[in-house]
Amino acid sequence: MISFWEQNSFIHYDVIVVGSGITGLSCAAHIKESNPDLDILVLERGIFPSGASTKNAGFACFGSLTELVSDLNTLTTDQMLDLVELRWNGLSKLRGRLGDEKIGFINNGGYELISTKEESALERLDFINSELNSIFKEDVFQLVNSKIDEFGFNKEFVRQLVINKFESQIDTGAMMRNLLGYCQQLGINLINGTEIESIDENDEQVNVVTKSGLTFTAKEVAITTNAFTKKLYPDLTLNPGRGIVLITDPIEDLPFQGTFHYDEGYYYFRNYGNQVIFGGGRNLDVEGETTTSFDVNEFILSRLKQLLNEVILPNHEYKIAHSWAGIMAFGENKEPIVKPHSQHVTLGVRMGGMGVAIGSMIGEQLGNMILGKL
Ligand SMILES: Cc1cc2nc3c(=O)[nH]c(=O)nc-3n(C[C@H](O)[C@H](O)[C@H](O)COP(=O)(O)OP(=O)(O)OC[C@H]3O[C@@H](n4cnc5c(N)ncnc54)[C@H](O)[C@@H]3O)c2cc1C
């Protein structure tokens, strides 16, 4: 039974945000930046944020050439450009809010490995460049085949290499820790280790019911639980998608720096100092990876190790230091869900493989919807 004091001081808020990934924290930060008098609580089920935001590979990217070409199968050119712009603006917002040092932002450029299978996408390079010109004012993608040797890739496999000088990398852990610190500095309340089991509302307030049975209340609630949202709202059109990531031990004379994509963004690797972080392969077992379990799929992991050995680091001795899994959320197209769910509950979920880039802007959009109702 809670005390009178607890009831008076700990239970009621102007806004409750459920989920402390990049979207939830950005939403809370935007609301507090806009109106410092509002009392905001962020509730998180994990000891620390435990979704995709602390488990991705730290790419500050807005789409590789083959990814953007493939997007045009499901999106109009304008929709594809809007998403690129949202990603670019989201990254700028994140950099502006925390500063490059605090997010470990490094611009070493991004590259895409083109094997025979993807070579036809190069025919669209000029078209994609001319469309992206409205955002970047210069060509984004260029062929740099001379670097295939310099980087030591297997030339039988990597037929061509495309550079994107605008792409960068971040330190995912530092970014999330500093975003949490920023929210605390603003005076946002954060409670971890608290899973929300259900949410109901009446005319006066929203009741946010925790697994332990305690109920918090708020005038407005933001749901930013991404891949885990179906537990709260089973009818939502959203599927979890697991991504496997590994990191090597330090590698002497690592010949490349930067972020690298392959196969429409399904595979991605980068340097972290002189270590290599490599992830992807979800398309090898789409059904098996449609899960919220954090287990590592051994079949996909073995395929990643094979690609690392045969294509990316064919001439190097190295050891795998660690591997892990993160859960993303996907829908019928790449657009996130940012909309009211009921009178006082608003959703900002389904960030796909883009939430590092768009999370700050989606948090802002969600925050503005809530500010408009207070
Ligand atoms: C392997 C991998 C690679 C990726 N690569 C990229 C990339 O290159 N570029 C890019 O932009 N993005 C990338 N992403 C995607 C990006 O990480 C996500 O889109 C983004 O982090 C989603 O942020 P979010 O805050 O919306 O959700 P999450 O980070 O998933 O946060 C949701 C939070 O809600 C909490 N939660 C869930 N249910 C409850 C509940 N009932 N009660 C309380 N709390 C709850 C979770 O614990 C979690 O902390 C990648 C993701 C992965 C996993």
Q: How confident is the model over 25-53, as pLDDT tens digits?
A: 999 999 999 999 999 999 999 999 999 99
In this prediction, residue 201 carries a pLDDT of 96
CB 14 within 8 A of CB 219: yes
pLDDT at 364: 98
315 confidence band (pLDDT: 50, 70, 90) = confident
> The CATH number of the domain where 254 resides is what?
3.30.9.10
pLDDT band (50, 70, 90) for residue 165: very high
d(CA 151, CA 321): 22
- Same domain for 27 and 86, yes or no, is no
Q: How many structural domains is the chain composed of? A: 2
Does residue 243 sit in the same domain as residue 286? yes
175-222 pLDDT tens trace = 999 999 999 999 999 999 999 999 999 988 999 999 999 999 999 999
276 and 305 in a single domain? The answer is yes
Q: Identify whether the C-beta of residue 91 lies closer than 8 Å to the C-beta of residue 170.
A: no
Domain co-membership, 10 together with 94: no
Cβ contacts of 303 within 8 Å, gap of 6 or more: 281, 284
Amino acid (1-letter code) at residue 64: S
- Per-residue confidence at 239, pLDDT binned at 50, 70, 90? very high
Q: Is 192 in the pocket of ligand 1 (CB under 6 A)?
A: no
* 354 Cα: distance to centroid of ligand 1 (angstroms): 10
Tell me the best of 42, 53, 59, 364 to mutate to test the pocket of ligand 1, counting ligand atoms within 8 Å of each CB and taking the most: 53
Range of the domain at 41: 4-53+174-237+333-371
Q: Which pLDDT does position 204 carry in this prediction?
A: 87
Phi, psi of 27 (to 5 degrees): -65, -50
Q: Which of 300, 328, 350 to mutate to test the pocket of ligand 1 (most atoms within 8 A of CB)?
A: 328
**pTM higher than 0.95 for the full model?**
yes
The bridge status of strand 239-248 relative to strand 275-280 is antiparallel
Same-domain pairing of 134 and 157: yes
β strands within 70-126, DSSP E = 110-114
Arithmetic mean of pLDDT, 19-30: 98
Specify burial of residue 237 (Cβ count, 10 A radius: 0-12, 13-18, 19+): exposed
Q: Which CATH number covers residue 342?
A: 3.50.50.60
Q: Assess whether 355 and 284 both reside in one domain.
A: no
Same domain, 257 and 150: yes
Nearest residue by C-alpha to atom 33 in ligand 1 = 19
The answer to whether residues 126 and 18 belong to one domain is no
In terms of domains, do 8 and 143 share one?
Answer: no
Instruction: Report which of residues 264 and 128 the model is more confident about.
Output: 128
Structure tokens at 10: 């700990």
